[in-house]
């Protein structure tokens, strides 16, 4: 008869692990809450940030739209603290949908960039008490387009394009600095000389921002254009090979 002892540790793990996790109440009725996970490897903590699917300045004109933030231990999933009193006012009338542009966790706070129509706000959650503040913002002007944001380690960037009359267009790179303040970098681009650079100024251009250690949906991972964040750099990769091809024609 074979011994059963080697199996016991696995069984105990399966039984005990669910008991360590805790339930987080969210609103799935009137205005469903959408979650965003922001991890900080330096602190070993993860912030689960819930924001309403539809933002409204009419219904919440006084107190603002309610937001909910919960901090967990990344390994044990134990809830360390929470802030259920956060709120944000939306300036323009009517409802707006929020677009999460990028997110990053640092020892000095959790940051998430969220676009509302023509404004992208950098929201900071304080590491002391999870208080929510708007650290900075980007106003997307005429002939400008916010492409996407991307982050890695302690680096985070937001990439925009700007078309200029009778002049070469510009790439605008916003770098997330200390305290969530944005550093703006303008990069003139000579169009018509590089096929890949020209694609960035196409209004349908939408790369996939790749976050390290994040499992991707296979359908998303099949996106031929991806962007990566590095130390003071952003890299775009273009894979021109057809789906299912054994050949790759990747340019960066």
Q: How far, CA to CA in Å, does 6 sit from each of 12, 13, 18, 44?
A: 11, 12, 21, 31
Q: What is the mean pLDDT of residues 146-153?
A: 92
Beta-carbon contacts of 236 under 8 Å, excluding residues fewer than 6 positions away, are 196, 200, 207, 225, 226, 227, 252
User: What pLDDT score does 10 carry?
Assistant: 38
- pLDDT confidence of 9, banded at 50, 70, 90? very low
pLDDT winner (highest mean) among 92-96, 111-115, 189-193 = 111-115
Tally the C-alpha atoms within 13 A of residue 172's C-alpha that lie toward its C-beta: 19
Tally the C-alpha atoms within 13 A of residue 157's C-alpha that lie toward its C-beta: 24
Range scoring the smallest mean pLDDT among 16-30, 63-77, 134-148, 171-185: 16-30
Beta-carbon contacts of 233 under 8 Å, excluding residues fewer than 6 positions away, are none
- 203: pLDDT strictly greater than 50: yes
Q: What is the tens place of the pLDDT at every residue in 98-107?
A: 789 999 999 9
Report how far Cα 223 is from the mean position of its chain's Cα atoms.
17
Q: What is the tens place of the pLDDT at every residue in 234-247?
A: 988 887 655 554 55
User: What pLDDT score does 24 carry?
Assistant: 63
Q: What is the mean pLDDT of residues 79-87?
A: 81
Comparing 214 with 11, which gets the higher pLDDT? 214
- 76: pLDDT strictly greater than 80: yes
Range scoring the smallest mean pLDDT among 23-27, 114-118, 185-189: 23-27
User: What pLDDT score does 56 carry?
Assistant: 59
Average pLDDT over all residues of the chain: 78
pTM: 0.79
Query: CA-to-CA distance for 25 and 29, rounded, in angstroms?
Result: 12
Contact 16, 10 (CB under 8 A): no
Q: What is the mean pLDDT of residues 78-104?
A: 76
Beta-carbon contacts of 48 under 8 Å, excluding residues fewer than 6 positions away, are 24, 35, 36, 37, 69, 70, 71, 72
């Amino acid at each position: 008869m074979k011994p059963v002892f080697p199996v016991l540790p696995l069984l105990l793990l399966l039984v005990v692990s669910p008991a360590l996790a805790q339930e987080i109440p969210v609103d799935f009725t009137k205005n469903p809450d959408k979650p965003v996970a922001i991890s900080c490897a330096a602190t070993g903590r993860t912030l689960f940030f819930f924001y309403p699917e539809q933002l409204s300045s009419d219904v919440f004109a006084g107190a603002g739209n309610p937001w909910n933030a919960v901090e967990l231990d990344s390994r044990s999933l134990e809830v360390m603290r929470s802030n259920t009193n956060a709120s944000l006012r939306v300036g323009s009338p009517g409802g707006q949908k929020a677009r999460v542009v990028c997110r990053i966790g640092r020892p000095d706070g959790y940051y998430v960039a969220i676009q509302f129509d023509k404004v992208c706000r950098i929201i900071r959650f304080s590491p002391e008490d999870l208080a929510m503040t708007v650290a900075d913002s980007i106003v997307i002007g005429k002939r400008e387009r916010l492409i996407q944001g991307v982050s890695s380690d302690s680096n985070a960037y937001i990439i925009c394009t700007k078309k200029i009359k009778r002049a070469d267009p510009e790439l605008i790179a916003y770098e997330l600095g200390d305290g969530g303040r944005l550093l703006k970098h303008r990069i003139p681009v000579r169009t018509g000389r590089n096929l890949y650079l020209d694609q960035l100024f196409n209004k349908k251009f939408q790369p996939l921002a790749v976050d390290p250690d994040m499992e991707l949906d296979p359908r998303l991972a099949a996106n031929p254009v991806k962007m990566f964040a590095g130390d003071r750099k952003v890299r775009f990769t273009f894979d021109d090979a057809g789906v299912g091809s054994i050949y790759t024609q990747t340019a960066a």
